[in-house]
Structure 1
Amino acid sequence: MLIACRGSTPITDEVALRAHLAMLLRLENIGVLLGAGASVGAGGKTVKQLWSSFVDDFDESASWLLQEGFVSEQDVDLNQSNIPNVELLADKLAIASAEWLRVDDDKLPNGRFARENLNRAVVKAALLQEPWWTGPSGVSFDEELLKSHRTLLQKLTASRQPAQAAPWIFTTNYDLAIEWAAESIDMSVINGFIGVHSRHFSPQSFDLGYRNIQARGEARFGAYNVYLAKLHGSLTWEEHRGQYYEVQAAGIWPTLKRFAHSETASFGSLVLPSAAKYVQTVGFVLGELLRRFAEFLARPQTSLFICGYGFGDEHINRLLTSALLNPTLQLVVYLPEFVSLDDVSGLAPAVRKLLALQNPRVTVVGGGARAFFDKLVEDLPDPAIYDEDLKELENRLRTAANIASGSAQ
């Protein structure tokens, strides 16, 4: 059963939902915001699964956090549904460690150790599949675990009309799901880094794109690249003397593996999920990526599809809320926890605020597995070149639905 709404109006017709998404894909600018939930099918973990892994794998650190009052007994009891706010926990540890360092407190080593293990749990959750890191071949085209990511990229790029901009992918994930999926189908990704042997961050690359120099007029249908903004960083980023570099996956894997398996105490320039990121993002790279995100949301005739994101990052939530001042912005949120407009008690405060606006430019799809990443990809239509194709698509969808309904009876 479909559980969805547009503003204050429920959507119960699958065909109507897909037709609505088809129209949004025709807007001038399209983008997707992906959170941890979008990578689960490829081997990633949700925040809840990440915390469970931390408690199981680093029970000594979890017990110390409980002893020092950083978490409650309910937090470390995995039989209960209570999950601590990982962002606030990381902030508390950072602030406490700074104070312990100032006064030379003997709690400092344990505090640092706990934070390293929390960071380690995040890294292990973002590795996806270890074999993908071990060689230059990466992920093959027939890799089933990244099927939805490949299909998403193909549907987004093929939906672009002549002269329309390539789609944007924004993600809070450190993993390489998007990069590997794109490479497996020979799709170009512009992620802000340029160079061949020394890929350094150069934000003007976001103002460039690919095109077929032989195509003219309507033949220029579609896009040849996607723009990727990793808002919290990446497992393959390294910082050296104030400059950020992107390292080839196979090259960084030995260092990454040692850290993930507790053989080293620290790793690279990762930014741990934390509310403090709101302050950290004044830095060159992350600040530029967030600026690009805000700029995208302010563009006329823009649609943003959100999936796998739990609305736990306050700096992103603020951008989404303020972006609704753009009268032509359309938001589509796939949120498994959403069950009804009359029951929002279990949702994140930012989601409740979004729903309370009852804005017809905000569409929410819920219902558990019906709102998972693979369902979003299925709901997005195959490319349509002309307006007549969209009408034909809607008619075909409705006919198929009627046939299925008749067969069920």
Structure 2
Amino acid sequence: MSETFRLSDYQILIGKEDVIERHLHGILSDAPESSENQDKTKKALEEVLKEMRVRFGTILKTDNVSFLIGAGASLTTGGVSLANIPKPLERMLLDKAKEEQQGDAVPAWITLFYSIASMLSQSEFSFESRYEQFQSKEEDAISAIGLNLEDFLSQLHTWFAGMLEATETLKLTGASELVISKNDLADLIKEIIGSLTVLLNLPKSGLDDPLQSHRKFIKKVLTRPLNLRRVSLFTLNYDTLIEQAGDAEGSVLVDGFVGTLRRVFRPESYDIDFYFPAQTTEGRVHRFDRALHLYKLHGSITWHSCKPDSENPFGLYATLYNQDCQSDDVLIYPSPMKYGQALGMPYSELFRRLGNAIVQPQSALFVIGYGFGDDHVNALIRQALAIPSFTLVVV
């Protein structure tokens, strides 16, 4: 622990009770700023943290352990939050539109982007004003468009799927009408997904050991006793940081895809396990200790859609994380996903696996970097919380 520390940086809640405050209450109520009490506070805090590490270690040895990983876990590697339209993504769209601009005529897709953003956010945005802001100001000084990017993309796909004519007139409650061309909408979706795929090709260059935290996490998870069930890693992120960390640690990630030259989605592969062969024909087999199950609930920048056939019944294949592919077939949460709507494959299968994993007896779910913004996930967690033996740990 650093010599100079702020107690406010440490908080551990069990239910609504602050464990640190409970243990340190006597010290803090008696001249907390004095040098003597500062030393007492540090020692007491160290004891509390030591106790909680033991407690978390015990939870890690629960029979069924799962992790739910959100965007916050990727921020240190150059990742972005999708709670708003990411400013780096908007900058990429602006630069691409500027390249395509002919005279005063800007591409129709960027005009459509700002028209839809203005309608949904009930604020005024335009290509000209936003481009001027991004050219004249530091990025931190620019206000982001306050729309969740995944919700925004989902809305675009919903409209595209519902368009019967080449041009449709859209009317939202309380908003003016907007004429949308199906081709322009398709171009906009393609540009957003293409830019997002580039943006989330993490880690960004120039970072010092960017996979350190993810590798440490994988290594820790693999220390579970072999008589317990495999750990399940559920992530809402599109990036491949977990896969890269798993490769670096020499682990096998069962991610639902099978194949060597062309990896296709086969959900039954999640039921496969790995064992070392016995020394004799009747000897005891030993379980392979470096395997984890990975479920990418929102898709991945390495997932691509194609026409289903007998060899690929779900029309889904995976590529290497840095392999060049067409951006318009990248599968990242592209279908209508509002809570209450039916989930299509592969999402329905992945969410079913999440729900089944956390409702098992003696289950624990560690939540890391997730802001509880997905209604489907939240409903499954609420369902699990009704089970007395379920443990939820939010980091």
- Aligned residue number for residue 248 of structure 1: 319
Taking structure 1 as reference, are residues 8 and 146 closer, same or farther at Cα in structure 2, changes over 3 Å only? same
Which one-letter code corresponds to 1:70 in the other structure? L
Q: State the SS of the aligned residue for 2:391.
A: strand
CA RMSD, 1 decimal: 3.4
Q: Does residue 26 in structure 1 map to residue 26 in structure 2?
A: no
1:10 pairs, out of 15, 18, 40, with 18
Taking structure 1 as reference, are residues 268 and 80 closer, same or farther at Cα in structure 2, changes over 3 Å only? closer
Q: Aligned partners of 1:222 and 1:299: how far apart in 2?
A: 23
1:172 Cα deviation after fit: 1.0
Task: Give the number of the structure whose alpha-carbon radius of gyration is greater.
Answer: 2
Q: Aligned partners of 2:62 and 2:348: how far apart in 1?
A: 27
Q: State the SS of the aligned residue for 1:200.
A: strand
1:223 Cα deviation after fit: 2.7
2:76 pairs, out of 6, 28, 41, with 41
Taking structure 1 as reference, are residues 125 and 272 closer, same or farther at Cα in structure 2, changes over 3 Å only? farther
Which one-letter code corresponds to 2:301 in the other structure? L
Which one-letter code corresponds to 2:391 in the other structure? Q
Matches within 5 A, 1:150-161: 150-159=215-224, 161=225
- Aligned residue number for residue 267 of structure 1: 329
Which one-letter code corresponds to 1:182 in the other structure? G
- Aligned residue number for residue 261 of structure 2: 197
1:66 Cα deviation after fit: 4.2
Identity %: 23
Matches within 5 A, 1:44-123: 44-48=79-83, 51-59=86-94, 60-61=110-111, 62-67=113-118, 69-73=119-123, 79-80=142-143, 83-98=146-161, 101-102=164-165, 104-105=167-168, 107-108=180-181, 109-123=183-197
Q: Does residue 235 in structure 1 map to residue 285 in structure 2?
A: no
Q: State the SS of the aligned residue for 1:269.
A: strand
Taking structure 1 as reference, are residues 229 and 96 closer, same or farther at Cα in structure 2, changes over 3 Å only? closer
Q: Aligned partners of 1:317 and 1:170: how far apart in 2?
A: 13
Q: What do the CA deviations read for 1:154-188 (whole angstroms, capped 9, x no partner)?
A: 111112x2421121110011211111111112111
Q: Aligned partners of 1:222 and 1:14: how far apart in 2?
A: 32
TM-score by length of 2: 0.69
Which one-letter code corresponds to 1:23 in the other structure? T
Taking structure 1 as reference, are residues 290 and 114 closer, same or farther at Cα in structure 2, changes over 3 Å only? same
Q: Aligned partners of 2:66 and 2:199: how far apart in 1?
A: 25
Q: State the SS of the aligned residue for 1:169.
A: strand
Aligned residues: 313
Q: State the SS of the aligned residue for 2:299.
A: coil
| Uncovered stretches (5+) of structure 1, i.e. residues with no partner | 133-141, 260-265, 335-409
Q: What do the CA deviations read for 1:300-354 (whole angstroms, capped 9, x no partner)?
A: 11111111112111111111111112221111112xxxxxxxxxxxxxxxxxxxx
Q: State the SS of the aligned residue for 1:234.
A: strand
CA contact (8 A) 1:11 1:17 kept: no
Q: Does residue 144 in structure 1 map to residue 194 in structure 2?
A: no
| Higher share of residues assigned helix | 1
Taking structure 1 as reference, are residues 206 and 221 closer, same or farther at Cα in structure 2, changes over 3 Å only? closer
Q: Aligned partners of 1:95 and 1:131: how far apart in 2?
A: 36
Which one-letter code corresponds to 2:228 in the other structure? Q
| Uncovered stretches (5+) of structure 2, i.e. residues with no partner | 1-6, 21-47, 95-109, 134-140, 169-178, 309-313
TM-score by length of 1: 0.67
Per mean C-alpha deviation after superposition, the further-off stretch among 2-11 and 236-245 is 236-245
Which one-letter code corresponds to 1:93 in the other structure? L
Q: Aligned partners of 1:222 and 1:326: how far apart in 2?
A: 31
Q: Does residue 171 in structure 1 map to residue 235 in structure 2?
A: yes
Per mean C-alpha deviation after superposition, the further-off stretch among 199-208 and 316-325 is 199-208
Which one-letter code corresponds to 1:39 in the other structure? S
Taking structure 1 as reference, are residues 71 and 110 closer, same or farther at Cα in structure 2, changes over 3 Å only? farther
Q: What do the CA deviations read for 1:386-407 (whole angstroms, capped 9, x no partner)?
A: xxxxxxxxxxxxxxxxxxxxxx
Which one-letter code corresponds to 2:11 in the other structure? I
CA contact (8 A) 1:70 1:92 kept: no
Q: Aligned partners of 1:199 and 1:91: how far apart in 2?
A: 26
Q: What do the CA deviations read for 1:340-390 (whole angstroms, capped 9, x no partner)?
A: xxxxxxxxxxxxxxxxxxxxxxxxxxxxxxxxxxxxxxxxxxxxxxxxxxx
- Aligned residue number for residue 38 of structure 2: none
1:241 Cα deviation after fit: 2.7
